[in-house]
Amino acid sequence: MGIKAALPKYEVYFYSSVLALAVVWATFWISEVSSSSVSRKTFKASLKPGYFGRKMDTADFEWMMWFSTFRSHILFALSGHVLFAKICSVLAPQYRSLVHMVYGLLAVLTSMGWTYIALVLSHCILLYSVSLVKIRWLCFVTGLCTLTTFKCEPFVSWQAGLVEGDFELRHVLFYGGCGFTIMRCMSFALENCERKDGNYTILELLKYNFYLPFFYFGPIMTFDNFYAQANKSDLSRKETEMWNIRLQGLIHLGVIIMVDIFFHFLYILTIPADMKLLKHLSDWALVGVAYFTLVYDWIKAAVMFGVISTVSQLDHLDPPKPPKCITMLYVFAETHFDRGINDWLCKYVYNYLGGRHDGVLEELLATLCTYSIVILWLGPSQVVLLWAFFNCLGLNFELWTSKVSSMEPFVSYEAAMSEAMSRRVRAVFNTFNFWSIVLYNSVALNSLEFAKLVAKRLLLKGFPVTTIVVMFVTYCLVQVIKELERRRALIDDPDPLPPAPTVNAATGPTASTTPPAAAQPEADPNREKAE
């Protein structure tokens, strides 16, 4: 069944209506719970006075850090970068990557001090020296061992003690800058191993690492992409490029304002921390909180990386795309909240070991190694280990299922169906896959107890009414997603038009039933979505 299989329009409209009503209904329940629980002791620590005569949910430290507490510092640093980059691109465009590096070094020096600069430079020099040997596994081992020093004692305390000053953002900037530095240095080292003639210079590594918009918070752009884009001589823009950049900036600003308004009415970040309250919530409110927390986490990642990406686009770079919305995910193969890390892992680990991803053992080895690095990146803990195990299992289970479904008698069964019916059957299985993704990621975003409570209420205590209703709404969601993907596929790769009728003087207009061989497009399996 291809991605272009269509359903009747009235059926798609019905699915969209059901989905809209379900979202409004769940929002209503969460709003009721938020308003009636303001006076609870567990809410007082995270609810602060806001606007509209209401209190605001401030439980997410990362969002508050970016867009409330330290927004002036971040805006000042990024504005300075944009100003100097613009001056350089006008006066001396051939030196723009060097100017970016110098400004980044000065900004890091001002905020974190000389000792921090020395620590980061030591990691750069170490991995650069190892890259000269051009042994791929040695670069990997060195990089992972260096990354381990930020996850275990006594190395963590010793390195953190080197940072000077009492800047409030110091600890966040310390771990962010060092962690991303090591990942960038590993990318540089691995690309240097692949280079056949000579080596990249250490200056190229410093330009790559100290590009300020990416330095502290990412996203990670692999060295080969950064090197090609930072050193291109043609700095001309397309006609609508600047308009698109301005539009992106306005959209991000609008989303930030919208999220702050929602925080005054929906306390989706504080509610999951109160287990006593969760046990008394209605099924709709609990399921809605589980879903909305994942949607919010995607919005946060999209806005944080989007703001930085907008700045980098002004520097004529093409940064990693924002993560795909959790609402649009029903396959584990597309589940990622940081596309930069995902691209890094796919390029150097997952695709390198997994090949075409059609072998069971190769896929198992590739996913185990990939999630092992993710565990080290996030820091080993019970929650991270459970999250990695379940997502690794889901990714492999999809391959096992596709292998089984490609055998008899399943192939014959599906061949006997219409494309629309095949799409409906697949959507049923995608429905269970969607909630597996939601529950597995709830372990990392909220807690194991919260995920267990949602699963118990959804599958056991709420059976059969809640289970059937929620799964039906999710089925409608999956069908709406498939319809959006179908329309996008038709725009990107429209079906070829039938040949024009030929005029025969003897018999009149006749339509050729068999187009020429050259006009018949070959089937491209890569254009069909893995389900």
Which tens digit of pLDDT belongs to each residue from 279-306?
A: 989 888 999 999 999 899 889 888 888 8
Among residues 32, 201, 28, 220, the alpha carbon closest in space to that of 143 is found at 220
Please write down the long-range contacts of 53-62, taking CB distance under 8 Å and 24 or more positions apart. Answer: 54/264, 54/265, 55/264, 56/260, 56/263, 56/264, 57/263, 57/264, 57/266, 57/267, 57/268, 57/269, 57/270, 58/263, 59/267, 59/269, 59/270, 59/273, 60/269, 60/300, 62/300, 62/304
Least confident of 95-99, 308-312, 516-520: 516-520
Give the pLDDT confidence score for residue 70 in this predicted structure: 75
**Buried-exposed string 298-318: b where 16+ CB fall within 10 A, e elsewhere:** bbbbbbbbbbbbbbbbbbbbe
Q: Counting beta carbons within 10 angstroms of the beta carbon of residue 372, is it exposed (0 to 12), middle (13 to 18) or buried (19 or more)?
A: middle
Confidence of residue 167 (pLDDT cuts 50, 70, 90): low
Q: What is the pLDDT of residue 164?
A: 61
348-402: per-residue pLDDT in tens?
999 988 887 888 889 899 999 999 999 998 888 889 999 999 999 988 998 898 8
Kind plus residue range of the DSSP H or E element containing 509: strand 508-510
Establish whether the linkage from the previous residue to 319 is cis, with ω within 30° of 0.
no
Strand partners, 47: 57
DSSP H helices, 280-381, are: 283-314, 339-345, 351-354, 360-378
**Three-state secondary structure of 151-167:** CCCCHHHHHHCCCCCCC
Residue whose C-alpha is closest to residue 47's, from 278, 287, 281, 273 = 273
Q: What is the pLDDT of residues 327-338, one digit of tens each?
A: 788 888 777 777
CA distance 475 to 13: 14
Spatial distance between the Cα atoms of 21 and 33, rounded to a whole number of angstroms: 19
Supply the DSSP string of 81-95, one letter for each residue.
HHHHHHHHHHH-GGG
pTM: 0.85
Residues facing residue 61 across a β-bridge? none
Q: What 3-state class would DSSP assign to 409? A: coil
- Whether the Cβ atoms of residue 270 and residue 46 lie closer than 8 Å to each other: yes
DSSP summary character for residue 525 = G
Tokens standing for 522?
């070959």
207 band by pLDDT with thresholds 50, 70 and 90:
very high
Burial class of residue 410 in the structure, from the number of CB atoms within 10 Å of its CB (0-12 exposed, 13-18 middle, 19+ buried) = exposed
251 vs 260: CA distance, rounded Å: 14
Query: Residue 18: what residue type?
Result: V
Helix, coil or strand: residue 53 = coil
**What are the backbone angles phi and psi of residue 473, rounded to the nearest 5°?**
-60, -40
CA of 391: how far to CAs of 72, 343, 374, 395, in Å?
A: 38, 17, 11, 6
- Encoded tokens for 194: 């692949």
More reliable by pLDDT, 157 or 207: 207
CB 221 within 8 A of CB 214: yes
Name which of 107-116, 179-188, 206-215 the model is least confident about. Answer: 107-116
DSSP 435-499: HHHHHHHHHHHT-HHHHHHHHHIIIIITTTHHHHHHHHHHHHHHHHHHHHHHHHHHHHSPPPPPP
Q: Taking each helix axis from N to C terminus, what angle separates 202-209 and 96-112, rounded to the nearest 10 degrees?
A: 60
Beta bridge partners of 403: none
State the average pLDDT for the chain.
85
| Between residues 527 and 41, the one the model is more confident about | 41
CA geometry: angle at 339 spanning 488 and 359, to 5°? 80
d(CA 218, CA 488): 29
Question: What mean pLDDT comes out for the span 197-203?
Answer: 92
Mean pLDDT of 447-452: 91
**Between 153 and 16, where is the model more confident?**
16
Strands 47-49, 502-504: pairing kind: unpaired
Q: Identify the pLDDT of residue 526.
A: 39
Tokens for 76, please give them.
């000042």
CB-based contact 189:130 (threshold 8 Å): yes
Which CA distances in Å does 309 have to 101, 247, 421, 434, 465? 17, 13, 41, 29, 45
pLDDT of residue 515: 37
**Residue type (1 letter), 341:** I
DSSP for 114-152, please give it: HHHHHHHHHHHHHHHHHHTT--HHHHHHHHHHHHHTTTS
Cα–Cα nearest to 473, from 437, 431, 424: 431
- Report the 10 Å Cβ neighbour count for 527: 12
What percent of the chain lies above the pLDDT cut of 70? Answer: 91
Q: Which of 75, 67, 78 is nearest to 257 (CA)?
A: 67
Report in angstroms the alpha-carbon separations of 103 from 311, 313, 318, 371: 14, 17, 20, 35
Using the predicted structure, report yes or no on whether residue 428 has a pLDDT greater than 60: yes
